[in-house]
């Protein structure tokens, strides 16, 4: 009798632990709700409703913006084939664990030529880079869009297929 009771308790605890583990998300993940400005959520491997944020220039296309924690900083890229593609060190690095930009209200895209950023460029760091600003950019290349960030020299750096794009002509996310 004691054996049956402990077995039932073990099964109940295991079921609770499994349910808790499958529904838990990282502490930096946010729930989908309607924010006033910008919101990222942890969505690795899950489908994203079409109504949420897209960096595409054309309304008929969808380009999802994602970010990953790399070392102590966040790096930004775009979703492709279930991975967050991040540019750096001359290559594109795919990450399977990432957050997705689901809302970017009161923002838009503005062209930046010759590495000149507009005054209303949007800082998307939200305290993630130790006070260093983080700017989202997109490069139009081969009938597609690659999303990345502005490096210290003012170039847009984005992963693309197995390589990296670096351009001084790009669009940058701005406050409207």
Query: So what's the pLDDT on residue 59?
Result: 77
Query: So what's the pLDDT on residue 173?
Result: 92
Query: So what's the pLDDT on residue 58?
Result: 80
Triad 170, 172, 176: Cα angle to 5°: 145
Phi, then psi, of 21 in degrees rounded to 5: -65, -35
Numbers of helices and strands, H then E, in the chain: 1, 12
Percentage of residues in the chain with pLDDT exceeding 70?
A: 73
pLDDT tens digit string along 3-60?
A: 443 333 333 323 322 233 333 434 343 345 555 678 888 876 677 777 778 898 887 7
CA distance 169 to 154: 10
Kindly compute the dihedral angle of the four CA atoms of residues 44, 158, 28, 42, in this order, to the nearest 10 degrees: -20
CA distance 2 to 110: 70
CA distance 73 to 154: 18
Least confident of 26-35, 54-63, 91-100, 109-118: 26-35
């Amino acid at each position: 009798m004691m054996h049956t009771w402990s077995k039932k308790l073990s099964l109940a605890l295991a079921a609770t632990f499994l349910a808790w583990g499958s529904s838990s998300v990282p502490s930096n993940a946010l729930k989908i709700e309607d924010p006033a400005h910008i919101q990222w959520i942890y969505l690795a491997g899950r489908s994203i409703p079409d109504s949420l944020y897209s960096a595409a220039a054309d309304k008929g296309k969808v380009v999802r913006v994602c970010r990953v924690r790399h070392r102590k900083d966040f790096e930004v890229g775009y979703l492709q084939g279930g991975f967050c593609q991040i540019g750096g060190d001359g290559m594109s690095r795919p990450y399977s664990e990432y957050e997705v930009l689901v809302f970017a209200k009161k923002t838009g895209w503005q062209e930046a030529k010759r590495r000149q950023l507009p005054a209303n460029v949007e800082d998307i760091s939200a305290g993630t880079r130790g006070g260093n600003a983080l700017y989202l950019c997109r490069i139009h290349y081969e009938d597609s869009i690659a999303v990345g960030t502005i490096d210290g020299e003012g170039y847009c750096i984005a992963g693309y297929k197995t390589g990296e794009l670096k351009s001084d002509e790009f669009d940058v996310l701005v406050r409207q």
